[in-house]
A and B are shown apart, each in its own frame.
Chain A
Amino acid sequence: MSQQLKIVIDGKEISAGPGQTIMEAADAAGIYIPRLCFHEGLPPGGHCRLCTVKVNGRPVSACTFPVAEGQVIENASEEMTALRRKIVEMLFCEGNHYCPSCEASGNCELQAMAYRLGLLNPQLPYLRKPRELDASHKDIYVDRNRCILCGRCVRASKLLDGKTVFGFEGRGINKRVAVDAERSLNETPFSVTDQAAKICPTGCLTLKRKGWAIPVGQRAFDKGPIGADIERK
């Protein structure tokens, strides 16, 4: 049995295993570190930076940074929460997220994260940049207005489905999720049964004809905030 390490998160000492990331160790101890691009079953992407914690005073992404003996980690402090709130705010202002008419509302991790972090009214200007809606596939659509570039679909399609349907294209403000086709999703081997079809944290990659089938009160985040499942452990 490998030797357990001791780390301290927000003043609480927990045990961690060698090779674990900080996020894995925190999850096992029932401490929630906010995240959007991370998904269990996929290797971490380190894209969204929402899981940024301070280790011995230095900011790192908890989903990729390994534990080490004696780390003192700052997670739920006012400073880190404010940082994360600003990241989420930027995501909202960069994309075109209209929660009132979005079928992902109540099940959306971005929306749930905004509620958890207390983001009620963005202060930054909305970019309102036109983005494409790809409705070509018979069972699933890609609404890039709602994309936060988490890359979950890119990783899932490649690593879980073995298809590489999705990939990133462009840089900076012009970066987008592209499909491996001349024009649109219907030209790819993408299937509704693919793991990538079920992994989007927002309403970007969405199954068709299923909207609002789950009533208010029974949606993923109606009964508790995002992260409550980890905190209940």
Chain B
Amino acid sequence: MSKATETGTAGRAGEIVRFTRRSARRYNRSRTSLPELFVDVYVSVLALGCAVALAVSFVLALRGEFAQRSATDGGLIADPVLVLPSQALEVLLTFAALAAVVVLGRRLGPLAVGGPESTWWLSLPVDRRPMVWGPFLRRAVLAGAGAALAYVPVSVLGALDRTVLSHAYAAATFGALVVAVVGIAALLQGRPQSVGLKVAAASLVVAGALVTVLVPSAWSFGAGLVIASALLVLVSSRAGFVPGGELTRAGAVSGHVGSSLYLMDSNELFRAVRAESRTAYRRGARFFALPTRGPFAALLRADVVAFLRLHPTPTTAVLWLVACVAVMLVDGGLPVFVQLGAVVLAGCAAASGFGTVARRAALVPELDGLVPVNPALVRASRAVMPAATMVLWMALLGGVLVVLGAAGPMLIVVSALAGIGMGAGTVRGASRPATDWSAPPVETPFGPVPRAQLAALLRGVDVTVLSLMPVVLTLYLGVVALPVLVVQAVISGVVFLVVAMTNPHG
């Protein structure tokens, strides 16, 4: 099929797209009254305004806290053996954000069509460019604008001495770079094996993070804009040649992610994002084939093998560990509560990442009844690998912190014990029931609180954070007290037992 022939059908494709949109608009208008529209807009604007006001006041308060800190105020590590330059953390954060955009962009499309479009549009003998280019451009520009806005607090908190104009340039540069990397993700859809494109993406992410943080200026913004524009022009010329299967796949994943976000269902979000992840199909085959003694041993072996296959590499968990430690090594030291917050956040994120088996198994409750063992043992078996992995992760974190001088060697034991409860928390979170958004809020002295929804949303995170509390306390005190060690052991043991004994469907 020649390119010229495909281009010749572009007009007809554009007409098809316009026809579909026009009909959809007409239908939607017929179902929406003006008062309803007004209420929707009013509520959205109000919610957005509240969210922005909260974010701004939080950032300003944090900035004030940062500014008041003197250079001699220590963090969790009083005299670290290794100190990172003050801007290293901001560079790392910017780098991580740009890398995440490339990875997520590639999974979500960014060139994509939804289910109906894939059935009714992609089968037509017309150029597909008009069908995918418009929505892509809208997504890329929105991602850039959103990223620029989200970068403002990072810049404001990362460089207290920077001028307002410098912050604006940093944010604008970051926004332009996000558009550029979304463009590279789109080009990779057509040529997924292209080494050149992968090298270009890596170079842009590294150089972009350095330039955005170290030399934000009109020049950096201009350069970002030129690169983004050039990549968009390139995507525009190739958008019609991305395989239909890839467009459909991307549409399915982005649709799944969109509905998960709308329903605030983190389990579905994980399932959507990891749907296309690499699976080590053959790993553990020999171990699995060994004879077993009793049904529980067989079940445990199946859970271990499934875990090893669905978590081929621990990359994400290692990155969280590095980020968590980096926060503590920044020159000048971040406030203690920020450092402790980073430990909790990294711990929850790493634990949640090890819940793939439990999340998939939760979709098929019948699986739990396949083996004739008590349901509590089934849940315990499912929690063994997340717990074992989190024991390792926490022991590693504790070890690094001991080497850096945060506390004595017993911190490793306390941390490892915390891993047991955190792993169990992952299984509890994975079997979280869908949030019932129709349940009425409960009246409290502080006003109506959506208690049922909050309980559902925090299920799993609650016990993960609880299991971390003794570690947090130890880090805050800087010494490992024996009672804390005992409390940690009790909390982790109780959490594991409670998770095993609790029927999520009961």
A is bound by B: no
